[in-house]
Amino acid sequence: HSRLPAIMIDPIKNGAQPDTLTRLITTFVDVILKKIIELALAKAGPPPCGFAFVVLGSEGRREQTLKTDQDNAIIYEDVSNPAEAKQVEGYFLDLAGDICDWLDMAGFDYCEGENMAKNPKWCQPISVWKGYFNDWIHAAKPEDLLNSSIFFDFRWIWGKKELTEELSNYLLGSLSGWSGFFRNMVENALYFKPPLGFFRNIVVQSKGEHKDAFDIKRAIMPIIDFARIYALKHSITETNTLARLERIRAKRVMTKGEYDDIVQSYHYLMHLRFIRQITAITEEDGKADNYINPQNISRIDRSMLKEIFRKIEGIQQKMSIDFTGIV
């Protein structure tokens, strides 16, 4: 994994499209992950029932950058016999422990929010997963909305693919006709305002270790949220943001002009994010981060950012009108 920045430096500096970069990183990460799962299975012995190993969040969307941590889970088949169920649970927790520990050793940091298969909560039979999804959709507490924004972007990596398909179908079926969830999700998404001040200046952090910088990851969130919300609303199964936007456009939810604007904005922000991460790795302390000081980028980039943040305000307004009826 430590070779990743070295592999990526030329494509980033030569202006490769951000979706090409994230695809490369995803392929690289998936290969390592599959190898680790293979090794863990060889140690654990044959699984007692069918299971699927899934990745979540940016990994689930195939949008990982050079700042990589783990977001994963295990879904396994229901076992009716209670004594057997206990053994099955033990097997998968041990397996998950090895996978997550070895990923950490390979340079993929543990998830700070503990959204990993080694957390017993996220290593469960499919009936429990359906229960989680059902609760998150209907209860919609702030932490449920956070979970749904991470877990609803799940992607199959290993094992019985039918389990992930069953869960995906269950999710889309549960959402149809339940407008309350979308309203809550949109209200939550609207908290992530683009960092644009009253006088159209870029708002930066006033203190702390990232003083005078803004978080570009946070600035991209509204586009990711927009794509997720409309994709779930229209029963689109893709998790990748650009693939979702393409499918949303095909359903005529937005005009070609709106689509072009949002895709260009996404590419531009992701490009700046990659440049920032490579700079942090090669010229600073060697660890990728997402914090950009507007004074360190060109005047053209600064005015482009302001223009993009205005466009993001526009798509947030569209979401607000479409789902809450509030301008």
pLDDT 10s digits, 124-153: 999 999 999 999 998 777 778 888 889 999
Q: Based on the domain organization, do 165 and 37 belong to the same domain?
A: yes
Convert the pLDDT of each residue in 218-228 to its tens digit.
Answer: 999 999 999 99
Question: 231 and 93: one domain?
Answer: no
231 vs 5 pLDDT, higher one: 231
Domain around 313:
178-327
The verdict on 171 and 182 lying in the same domain is no
CATH number at residue 43: 3.30.460.10
- pLDDT of amino acid 210: 85
Domain with residue 276: its CATH number is: 1.20.120
Cα separation of 238 and 316, whole Å?
A: 21
CB 130, CB 170: distance < 8 Å: yes
pLDDT at 327: 62
pLDDT at position 112, please? 82
Cα gap 109→115, rounded to integer Å: 12
Domain boundary among 159, 175, 191: 175
Res. 119: pLDDT tops 80: yes
Q: 242 vs 7, which has greater pLDDT?
A: 242
How many structural domains compose the chain? Answer: 2
The domain boundary, picked from 175, 196, 218, lies at 175
Residue 238, C-beta contacts closer than 8 angstroms, at least 6 positions apart:
231, 244, 247
* Structural contact between residues 216 and 192, judged by C-beta atoms closer than 8 angstroms: no
Q: Are residues 217 and 275 in the same domain?
A: yes
Picking from 154, 175, 196, the residue at the C-terminal end of a domain is: 175
Tell me: do 303 and 257 sit in the same domain. yes
pLDDT band, very low/low/confident/very high, at 2 (cuts 50, 70, 90):
low
Q: What is the rounded distance in angstroms from the CA atom of residue 134 to the CA atom of residue 149?
A: 14
Residue range 145-193, pLDDT digits in tens: 888 889 999 999 999 999 999 999 999 999 987 778 898 889 888 988 8
